[in-house]
Structure 1
Amino acid sequence: MIGLFNDCFPPIMDGVSLTTQNYAHWLNRKTGNVCVVTPKSPHVRDNEEYPVYRYSSLPIPMRKPYRFGVPQVDLAFQYKLNQISFELVHAHCPFSSGALAMRIAKSQNIPLVATFHSKYKADFERAIPNKKIVDYLIKDVIRFYEGADEVWIPQASVEETLREYGYKGKVEVVDNGNDFSDYGSVYSMRATAREELGVNDGEFVFLFVGQHIFEKNLAFLLESLAIIRYIPYKMYFIGSGYAEGRLKQMTEELNLSSKVFFVGTVSNREQLSRYYAAADLFLFPSLYDNAPLVVREAAALHTPSVLISGSTSAAIVTDSVNGFLASHSTADYARKIRELTVSPLLMRMAGDKASHSIARSWENVVDEVCDRYQCLMRRTSCNHPDVLWQAI
């Protein structure tokens, strides 16, 4: 059994949750031998084609709907987990689920892969005002990654963050994929989606998808949009988070209520794809994200992103080729958007280029993952039957 461990899983929706879900889906399709281990969410009943093992959890204050896992008190879960013979475990988070993966790897003498997805220090600093405690927690995170057999990162630029945190070991780059790569005619889809949204001729559509938290620079985004309020546009925010109420208040204060719309969480992937397809630009000024899945999703539907130059997120974009970059200034970010609205051909060309250079299907990514798992198991001299991989 291949075990995928993460501290959240759908219906909690974020980039790492979706990554874990897509790994599980495609590994199950290719090997039929995968499970997910994750905290319980209230009223959730899993209907996946593979096992999902959930353990006791508590709500995290100010971070609804995220949960704090407490597997040590869940005796029924512990008994069930101890009955499973794993061949490899892959942790997508260093906290409760990662600790479980580490324990299993040691007790069953199997390989542990750990992917570094997030800038945990920013989360700690927001919640904890004490620098010494934050530094201790970061050292604890790094100790976790130092204990893994392989450390993966979703794009090369993420290595810089790991090094800043103090990690000195080897890293492997394994791209994230997206589940929108196989759509047909994007441009006919775009026309239909814009009609459904009631977009007028000559009106531009801008989009943000992600957690509504201030770490993602969303106040900056609203202030930038206020500078160009005279341009005919509709801006859609999709997602939820602790900052949502304040962002809606800012929208009113900036006189943007007729142009900015908060859609809430969109769990239906087909519905979400229509928003991506309808958009002229995906606006993502975050300095917080490492390798945002949403930029790749937008690219798959030929929608280019406007990112902050020098941010980790922007490392996969070449300005005016497969996306657009602006400095970390509301005036410059607004200027970039304004210039692009008078260059629709440039936006379209960048979107087309992004679809070829940034977007990669999850099926293709998981083919690579399977090869890497197999090589790691052989290298660590684990006795795994080759028949497991005949479907790959």
Structure 2
Amino acid sequence: MRILVATDAWHPQVNGVVRTLTMMAEAAKAFGVEISFLTPQSFPTFAMPSYPDLRLALPGPTKTAQLIEAAQPDAIHITTEGPIGFLVRRYCRQRKLPFTTSFHTRFPEYVSARLPIPESWIWAALRRFHGASQAVMAATPALATELRVRGFRNVVLWPRGVDTGLFHPRSVDLGLPRPVFVCVGRVAVEKNLEAFLDLDLPGTKLVVGDGPARTALARKYPQAVFLGARQGEELAQAYAAADVFVFPSKTDTFGLVLLEALASGLPVAAFPVTGPRDVIGTAPVGVLNNDLRTGCLSALSIPREACVAFAQKHTWEASARAFVDHNAAMRVVDATSDSAEFGAKQPHLVA
């Protein structure tokens, strides 16, 4: 089976969406599924406003159609509600082709944090975007329930995994005063990092990641250590060098970094909100408290072994299997179109 995934988020971006897609595709190979990607690498790009390190694609309809047809997919999945996602959705809608989508980012909260646009307007646009999807994939039961309450249809679960071969406890000393409280992720206003950096904590506050707010936050909080972006083994070592993982975000839909931290033996301190609440639940591997300082200090007493054992239950194989199963009902047969806009030959997906 061949699945084409359309995504506006791709390398060299470092975020949960890119890591999820990369790891899921690799895991899917084990059961004979080939996943290819339609990404910004195939189009001209421009810097995203307020995010100069992120680039948005400028896809054209003709080239988009050509790339879809060259991939000869058995199913089409749209990951993001960006320019590529919109054009692939348009392509499928014009040909009455089924497709699936996934919900990764709380754009209503993110956009409203920067622009005076009501969240209700953005939610309405997202409902329209996902409205024709055969399956809207959500990472957690709570997010799936929320989407249904907000009027989304065909919502299904697509769980996440963690690479325990990369993320695991090991002896790493960064030479920082202990205990080390670490936060990993994009350094941007929606991540609520100041709630972490304002805390009166012993030892060291460590921030791993990059983003538009890094320079300002590093200047405002000179006592904190900002390592910048880390990937692969360097990222795994940064986790392993810490004592507690702090997750101050109140808007993330999942937080893949939570599983990476737990696999590295780090207990979690976070607010009791969707995301950390879904990942951790009632498991004794973290402290969810509206008083984040209390959560950080209490997490120091949680055994690392419990965190590792919890993370090992979340595999990328299970994540990939769920993704494939949600797409497996769609197949492709060749068809001919008279559309002058997209070209003559096209895939035709049927349930």
Q: TM-score range by the shorter chain?
A: 0.7 to 0.9
Q: Residues 180 and 242 of structure 2 are in contact (CA less than 8 Å); yes or no, is this contact kept in structure 1?
A: yes
Shift in Å, 1:28: 4.5
Shift in Å, 1:163: 4.2
**SS at structure 2 position matched to 1:89:** strand
Q: 1:214–1:92: structure 2 CA closer, same or farther, 3 Å change rule? A: same
Q: Residues 64 and 87 of structure 2 are in contact (CA less than 8 Å); yes or no, is this contact kept in structure 1?
A: no
Q: Residues 71 and 78 of structure 1 are in contact (CA less than 8 Å); yes or no, is this contact kept in structure 2?
A: no
TM-score, length basis structure 2: 0.85
Shift in Å, 1:160: 4.4
User: Is 1:307 the equivalent of 2:260?
Assistant: no
Shift in Å, 1:158: 1.1
Q: Residues 78 and 99 of structure 2 are in contact (CA less than 8 Å); yes or no, is this contact kept in structure 1?
A: yes
TM-score, length basis structure 1: 0.77
CA distance in 2 between partners of 1:143 and 1:182 (Å): 40
Shift in Å, 1:146: 1.0
Q: Which residue of 2 aligns with 1:372?
A: 326
**SS at structure 1 position matched to 2:147:** helix
CA distance in 2 between partners of 1:204 and 1:282 (Å): 11
Shift in Å, 1:209: 0.9
The gaps in structure 2 that reach 5 residues or longer are 335-351
Identity %: 22
CA distance in 1 between partners of 2:114 and 2:321 (Å): 38
Shift in Å, 1:238: 1.0
2:310 alignment partner, one of 342, 347, 354: 354
Shift in Å, 1:99: 1.8
Matched AA of 1:326: N
The gaps in structure 1 that reach 5 residues or longer are 41-53, 385-392
Q: Which residue of 2 aligns with 1:220?
A: 195
1:141 alignment partner, one of 126, 147, 152: 126
Q: Which residue of 1 aligns with 2:3?
A: 2
User: Is 1:120 the equivalent of 2:97?
Assistant: no
Question: Which structure shows the bigger proportion of residues in strand conformation?
Answer: 2
After superposing on structure 2, the runs of 4+ consecutive aligned residues of structure 1 that deviate more than 4 Å are 75-78, 107-110, 381-384
CA distance in 2 between partners of 1:311 and 1:86 (Å): 34
Q: Residues 182 and 242 of structure 2 are in contact (CA less than 8 Å); yes or no, is this contact kept in structure 1?
A: yes
Question: Which structure shows the bigger proportion of residues in helix conformation?
Answer: 1
Q: Which residue of 2 aligns with 1:390?
A: none
2:79 alignment partner, one of 65, 70, 92: 92
Q: Which residue of 2 aligns with 1:182?
A: 165
Which protein, 1 or 2, shows the higher relative CO under an 8 Å CA cutoff with sep ≥ 6? 2
Q: Which residue of 2 aligns with 1:334?
A: 293
Q: Counterparts of 1:1-392 in structure 2 under 5 Å? A: 1-28=2-29, 30-31=31-32, 33-40=34-41, 54-72=42-60, 76=63, 78-106=65-93, 110-131=97-118, 135-163=120-148, 166-179=150-163, 181-182=164-165, 186-187=168-169, 189=170, 191=171, 193-194=172-173, 197-199=174-176, 203-224=178-199, 227-228=200-201, 231=202, 233-252=203-222, 257=223, 260-267=224-231, 269-318=232-281, 321-327=284-290, 332-341=291-300, 343=301, 346-357=302-313, 360-374=314-328, 376-377=329-330
Q: Deviations over 1:10-68 (max 9, x none)?
A: 1111111111222333334543633111113xxxxxxxxxxxxx222221121122222
Q: Residues 7 and 69 of structure 1 are in contact (CA less than 8 Å); yes or no, is this contact kept in structure 2?
A: yes
**SS at structure 1 position matched to 2:85:** helix
CA distance in 2 between partners of 1:103 and 1:156 (Å): 29
Q: 1:10–1:29: structure 2 CA closer, same or farther, 3 Å change rule? A: farther
Paired residues, what number?
333
